[in-house]
Amino acid sequence: MTPTHDGADVKHGAAVRLDNVSFSYGEASFLFNVQFAASRITAIMGPSGSGKSTLLNLVAGFEAPGSGRVLIGEADVSAAPPSARPVSMVFQENNLFAHLSVERNVGLGRSPSLSLTDVDREAIAGALQRVGLAGKESRLPRELSGGERQRVALARVLVRDRPVLLLDEPFASLGPALRDDMLDLLASVHAERKMTVLFVTHQPEDARRIGQNMVFLDNGTVAEAGTAADFFDGSGPEAFRRYIGSGPVNAGSRDIARKRT
Ligand SMILES: Nc1ncnc2c1ncn2[C@@H]1O[C@H](COP(=O)(O)OP(=O)(O)OP(=O)(O)O)[C@@H](O)[C@H]1O
């Protein structure tokens, strides 16, 4: 159980539900009705501007619904500020503070004021070891590669240890080999921690590789939801197949190894 700042306890891998959540940015309006299964990785795909980041921002609390409820586990968090929600979030870039060392950037996941105990320091060292960055604790973000910076962000997720992880195209700026390494790391961290992961990606291969469930957004709403197996099967939703530019998925692409089911 993870204590949240308001004292409520939320189980690891809490389900996330948007219940009739409406929201608008001027002309762009959104209506979300969707449940993300506890402890599963759900890949969220959809055309540019369909509302993927907006959905994550509503779950994180960076945006507030016009109406409807955001639930994490049993808790209605609709009115809770981001710091009180049991979530971590990793963006495509700018996850780190440029003037803080790797160790301190990770430490922020433990204590926003960086008043770290010995137990915290041990957790930070363990997390850096886990993501393959032992020995680079004192470096500044600019002294790391793009992939290493995302590893630091993942280490911070590990020490925060929240039941929900929101990923907004976290590996989009990395080359294919590095992206695969990061997806493998994410999959193995998920296997250990079993947090509920909402993973926004434009890459069908990435969704196929680690997504267990899929949500497809179109025009500010959930057009389709189901298992990744169903989505990538030839009989998957028509709108999704049109989006990824295929008819029935061919045998060759079906052979792309999915690391996890
Ligand atoms: N802060 C904002 N102010 C005004 N409009 C916004 C804001 N953020 C997003 N929008 C608009 O809301 C719509 C959805 O944006 P959102 O970023 O959620 O889409 P997305 O599916 O994540 O797109 P992409 O794949 O391009 O990242 C777009 O039309 C966008 O222009």
Q: Which atom of ligand 1 is nearest to the CA of 54?
A: 18
Helix segments in the chain, DSSP class H: 52-60, 102-107, 118-130, 146-160, 176-193, 204-210, 228-232, 238-244, 251-254
CA nearest to 85, candidates 16, 23, 154: 16
Domain assignment of residue 27, yes or no: yes
Within 13 Å, how many C-alpha atoms sit on residue 72's CB side?
Answer: 32
pLDDT tens, residue by residue, 64-120:
999 999 999 999 999 999 999 999 999 998 899 999 999 999 999 999 899 999 999
Number of domains in the chain: 1
Is 170's C-beta closer than 6 angstroms to any atom of ligand 1? no
Q: Could you tell me what percentage of the chain is helix, strand and coil, using 3-state DSSP and rounding each to the nearest 5?
A: 35, 25, 40
The mean pLDDT of 2-28, rounded to a whole number, is: 75
Domain assignment of residue 114, yes or no: no
Helix segments in 85-175, DSSP class H: 102-107, 118-130, 146-160
* Dihedral pair phi/psi, residue 154, rounded to 5°: -65, -40
CB 132 within 8 A of CB 153: no
Is 57's C-beta closer than 6 angstroms to any atom of ligand 1? no
Is 213's C-beta closer than 6 angstroms to any atom of ligand 1? no
Is 46's C-beta closer than 6 angstroms to any atom of ligand 1? yes
**Structure tokens belonging to residue 185:** 């790391």
Centre of ligand 1 to C-alpha 25, Å, is 8
pLDDT tens, residue by residue, 166-195:
999 999 989 889 999 999 999 999 999 999
Q: What is the CATH number of the domain that holds 29?
A: 3.40.50.300
* Rounded Cα–Cα distance for residues 182 and 162 (Å): 20
Q: Among positive and negative, which fits the CA dihedral 137, 1, 91, 110?
A: negative
Record the pTM.
Answer: 0.89
Is 212's C-beta closer than 6 angstroms to any atom of ligand 1? no
Q: What is the ipTM of this complex?
A: 0.97
**Structure tokens belonging to residue 239:** 């709108």
Shortest-distance Cα residue to atom 25 of ligand 1: 48
Centre of ligand 1 to C-alpha 178, Å, is 27
> Residue 250 gets which letter from DSSP?
P
Is 54's C-beta closer than 6 angstroms to any atom of ligand 1? yes
Q: Can you give the residue range of the structural domain that contains 53?
A: 2-86+162-254
Q: Dihedral, CA atoms, 146, 150, 155, 157, nearest 10 degrees? A: 160
High-pLDDT (> 70) share of the chain, %: 90
**Structure tokens belonging to residue 156:** 């911070």
Domain assignment of residue 70, yes or no: yes
Domain assignment of residue 103, yes or no: no
* Rounded Cα–Cα distance for residues 70 and 23 (Å): 12
Domain assignment of residue 74, yes or no: yes
Is 49's C-beta closer than 6 angstroms to any atom of ligand 1? yes
